[in-house]
Structure 1
């Protein structure tokens, strides 16, 4: 019952409102489960890359020694490989598990946070309040975590929101290619791939998860734009005046 069932919003069983897949499973329920898996991978990758990249960026930006010169070269090495190609190569060699996918996607996004944090720290460390803290004898960890990090944190949060959409699309691409999350687990990208053979007869198998990807990505882009204005004191007047 319900194999490739046509979407019908007035169906008694609400889980069948979006139709059924090739095995008769309700698409709405599968999309909800796939959302949790897709979001879990994207969240893990973004948090890991932001923590590692920002930590390295803080060290590279504040250090005036060899670390400040060597750490940026790490970002250059990672960025010399196309991120999606690097993920494909690594996942072909490793088992395409959730942990490996998070690890690969996190590594490819580290340079974004490393270079942004380093650039911000290089400018902030010359400001008067940081110089005053140095003169008063504050320790390096205190200066970094008490005076510098709070200033750059809004920028990092805004980038992470936008990066979440990019990582989610990358995970969906990997699952669509068959080297991401494997059945019986499910993600939106995998659902699109599974519905591809039925595009002419049951287009909704790929349409609904594809629509979920588009709407989520669009929402995250709008959210990051709002956060950029809301977290920047020089731009906040636009929200207050409705501009």
Structure 2
């Protein structure tokens, strides 16, 4: 899993799963650009990695903007050299039953979770195609299989799965792999904001009965991003404690 000499960009990496991914890639030797809509958050995360002896920098980017996505990749390459690894982690979750779903919530979810993945992948692929080498890893979600009140979120993440498969076919001839990871219940700041009652229900439905760690997702990313994953493309790996198989009955 040696990534020395590699250049990586991780979106939505100021905290949570994204920060765990950036930390793991940096620990393996990659020069990592931490991209996030929060400039302050990205700066703090990059400073923490740098203080730990890793190579990291921050980039403020709104991935719903193609211009921002292009600038993000350009900044990473100007600082560290040609981009080898892109991890599309940034995303939002707006829950709500269909009858209560607003146009604004639907459009925002699709813009961030799906259009954002396209914007960043397109920006990264331009250089990767010329070099005939690259790794793109998209963070989808177990929720793409469907869940109550998550029609917008599930649709956006289902789109990420389909986008992954299609771009993997398209880019394979250029030596670029494209894979996806579908996390389930992971211990993040978003989850910690849930009430004890909600957490009890979530854990009750979890086959393993435990919540996953952000590092679990990061380790999966490192496989796809590194030399060991060179012959793997177009695949979806669940990191969900078995919830993609079934949910425990109450």
Please tell me the TM-score bracket, short chain as reference.
under 0.3
Larger radius of gyration: 1
Please give the TM-score of this superposition, normalised by the length of structure 2: 0.27
> Higher helix proportion, which one?
1
> Higher strand proportion, which one?
2
Please give the TM-score of this superposition, normalised by the length of structure 1: 0.28
